[in-house]
């Protein structure tokens, strides 16, 4: 901590909710990042602790069964792809679910420092308005991902199998939503089959929500970072407003030495300090997410190319094709939202000096101007989030990942003897 006021559990949750966090996702998924154990010190808390373990266990069981099936030689390429993107999702989910366990203090510290930033700002109302706008955008993004990824997999793993059983196999013979290997034959009887359907349903629910929950944490922090840059630009414009030249081109001496003016130096010093704090928080944000983003990019390429292969195969049934297509669309938008968020941080940091456009900064006194030169120098550095220091979070990277996914997709088709 850098001397900031510590928040209790309720204040941390309130800050996260004000920044756009949907608490129900973490509760159902058994996922936490900055939050303390839920229902701490109660019987309900002990039960929920075991529930969190079971959510990870169900994901691991599904992943193991799918990887075991991948090693079986008799499966076709289409079946392997149908197992590959859920298996990759399981691995990614386990990483994202357990990474915060080792970084809990860092996640919590970042929440506290964002909340305590600009606590003495004269224009705090502007910052709060920007936070509300950012929270609204974050909630919209998360709901879009829930509809495209969580709902589609819920239908695929539960609704379709149950409907098929209830309608006397109207959609075709009994089969698993995701090809996988089990200790018993899941197709031997109704209850054997429903047991596997339940396990795969749990896996699909927890994989989708845990991954969305982790990405939600990134959107929450990134939104606060964008709000800080926006507020800094607004503050810089307000500080230089008293530098007025009359319409006749003359300087009004009263304005130049007025009550708003004598605080200029103090305000410039305060702005420099807030800007330095903003950059430190940005560095903390980058350190916290650089490795998870690298893992995410690698897994996303694999998920996109295999899911695309499934949707483009002529032998697959219409229901599977549509559901996998919707899921693939969710991954596409998920990647777009993440890269666009990185772009927004970069652009907002670059626009800081735009607050000085049209301002009469030549009226600054010599002792004030040195702080302006300091501002001009420090605002030259780019604020770009890099995945492990090498892959910038920008739309350019988004396009590169889409191209890489398509390249692997065409390679899979060639390996399987297919051509466009």
Could you list the residue range(s) of the whole structural domain that residue 249 is in?
9-31+105-162+207-415
From residue 336, alpha-carbon distances to 83, 208, 331, 345, 400 in Å are 24, 17, 9, 14, 12
User: In this prediction, what percent of the chain has a pLDDT beyond 70?
Assistant: 92
Q: Please answer whether residues 193 and 185 qualify as being in contact, where contact means their C-beta atoms are separated by less than 8 angstroms.
A: no
Per the model's pLDDT, the better-predicted residue between 344 and 254 turns out to be 344
Residue at token pair 């630009």: 233
The whole-number pLDDT of residue 70 equals: 87
Q: Report the phi/psi class of residue 172: left, alpha or beta, with left for phi > 0 and alpha for psi in -120 to 50.
A: left
The whole-number pLDDT of residue 252 equals: 62
Convert the pLDDT of each residue in 72-119 to its tens digit.
887 788 888 888 889 999 999 999 999 999 999 999 999 999 988 887
Q: How many structural domains is the chain composed of?
A: 1
Report the DSSP beta bridge partners of residue 391: 387
CA angle 11, 15, 19 (to 5 degrees): 170
Is residue 283 included in any domain, yes or no? Answer: yes
Q: Please answer whether residues 57 and 175 qualify as being in contact, where contact means their C-beta atoms are separated by less than 8 angstroms.
A: no
For 10-70, the three-class secondary structure string (H helix, E strand, C coil) is HHHHHHHHHCCCCHHHHHHHCCCCCCCCCCCCCHHHHHHHHHHHHHHHHHHHHHHHHHHHH
Question: Which residue, among 34, 35, 25, has the nearest Cα to 55 in the 3D structure?
Answer: 25
Question: Which residue, among 140, 299, 130, has the nearest Cα to 219 in the 3D structure?
Answer: 140
Residue 391 DSSP symbol: E
Question: Which residue, among 334, 305, 309, 330, has the nearest Cα to 320 in the 3D structure?
Answer: 309
Is residue 58 included in any domain, yes or no? Answer: no
Q: Please answer whether residues 160 and 177 qualify as being in contact, where contact means their C-beta atoms are separated by less than 8 angstroms.
A: yes
Is residue 282 included in any domain, yes or no? Answer: yes
Is residue 345 included in any domain, yes or no? Answer: yes
Q: Alpha-carbon distance 311 to 318, whole Å?
A: 9
Question: Which residue, among 213, 179, 192, has the nearest Cα to 55 in the 3D structure?
Answer: 213
Is residue 87 included in any domain, yes or no? Answer: no
pLDDT at 416 over 80: no
Is residue 171 included in any domain, yes or no? Answer: no
Is residue 401 included in any domain, yes or no? Answer: yes
Structure tokens at 164: 């098929």
Structure tokens at 275: 């800007």
From residue 296, alpha-carbon distances to 38, 79, 96, 141, 301 in Å are 27, 23, 9, 18, 9
Distance of CA 351 to the CA centre of its chain: 23
Is residue 173 included in any domain, yes or no? Answer: no
Name the least confident of 6-15, 140-149, 154-163, 402-411. Answer: 6-15
Count of Cβ atoms closer than 10 Å to residue 249 Cβ:
6
Model-level pTM? 0.90
Q: Alpha-carbon distance 399 to 420, whole Å?
A: 22
Q: Please answer whether residues 12 and 37 qualify as being in contact, where contact means their C-beta atoms are separated by less than 8 angstroms.
A: no
Per the model's pLDDT, the better-predicted residue between 375 and 294 turns out to be 294
Please give the full DSSP string across 120-133, using - where no structure is assigned: T-TTHHHHHHHHHH
The whole-number pLDDT of residue 1 equals: 43
Distance of CA 362 to the CA centre of its chain: 43
Instruction: For residue 246, name the pLDDT band (cuts at 50, 70, 90).
Output: low
The whole-number pLDDT of residue 418 equals: 61
């Amino acid at each position: 901590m850098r001397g900031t006021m510590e928040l209790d559990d309720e204040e941390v949750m309130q800050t996260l909710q004000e920044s756009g966090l949907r608490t129900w996702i973490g509760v159902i998924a058994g996922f936490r990042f900055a939050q303390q154990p839920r229902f701490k010190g109660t019987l309900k808390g002990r039960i929920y602790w075991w529930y969190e373990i079971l959510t990870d266990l169900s994901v691991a069981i599904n992943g193991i069964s799918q990887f075991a099936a991948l090693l079986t030689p008799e499966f076709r390429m289409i079946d392997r792809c149908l197992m590959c993107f859920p298996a990759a999702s399981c691995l990614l989910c386990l990483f994202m679910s357990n990474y915060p366990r080792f970084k809990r203090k860092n996640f919590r510290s970042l929440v506290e420092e964002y909340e305590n930033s600009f606590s003495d700002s004269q224009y705090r109302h502007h910052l709060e308005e920007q936070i509300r706008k950012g929270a609204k955008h974050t909630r919209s993004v998360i709901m879009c991902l829930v509809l495209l990824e969580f709902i589609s997999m819920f239908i695929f793993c539960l609704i379709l199998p149950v409907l098929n059983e209830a309608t006397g196999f109207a959609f075709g013979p009994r089969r698993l939503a995701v090809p996988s290997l089990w200790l018993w034959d899941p197709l031997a009887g109704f209850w054997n089959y429903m047991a596997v359907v339940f396990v795969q349903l749990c896996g699909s629910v927890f994989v989708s929500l845990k991954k969305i929950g982790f990405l939600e944490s990134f959107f929450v922090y990134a939104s606060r970072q964008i709000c800080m840059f926006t507020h800094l630009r607004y503050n810089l414009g307000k500080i230089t407003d008293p530098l007025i030249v009359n319409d006749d081109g003359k300087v009004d001496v009263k304005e130049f030495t007025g009550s708003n003016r004598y605080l200029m130096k103090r305000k410039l010093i305060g702005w420099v300090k807030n800007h330095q704090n903003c950059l430190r928080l940005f560095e903390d944000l980058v350190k916290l997410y650089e490795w998870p983003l690298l893992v995410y990019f690698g897994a996303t390429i694999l998920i996109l190319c295999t899911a695309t292969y499934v949707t483009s195969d002529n032998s697959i049934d219409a229901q599977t094709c549509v559901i996998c297509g919707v899921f693939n669309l969710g991954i596409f938008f998920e990647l777009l939202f993440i890269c666009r968020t990185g772009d927004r941080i970069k652009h907002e940091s670059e626009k800081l000096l735009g607050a000085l456009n049209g301002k009469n900064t030549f009226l600054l006194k010599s002792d004030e101007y040195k702080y302006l030169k300091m501002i001009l120098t420090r605002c030259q550095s780019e604020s770009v989030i890099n995945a492990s220091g090498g892959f910038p979070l920008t739309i350019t990277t988004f396009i590169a990942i889409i191209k890489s996914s398509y390249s692997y997709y065409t390679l899979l088709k060639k390996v399987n003897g297919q051509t466009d």
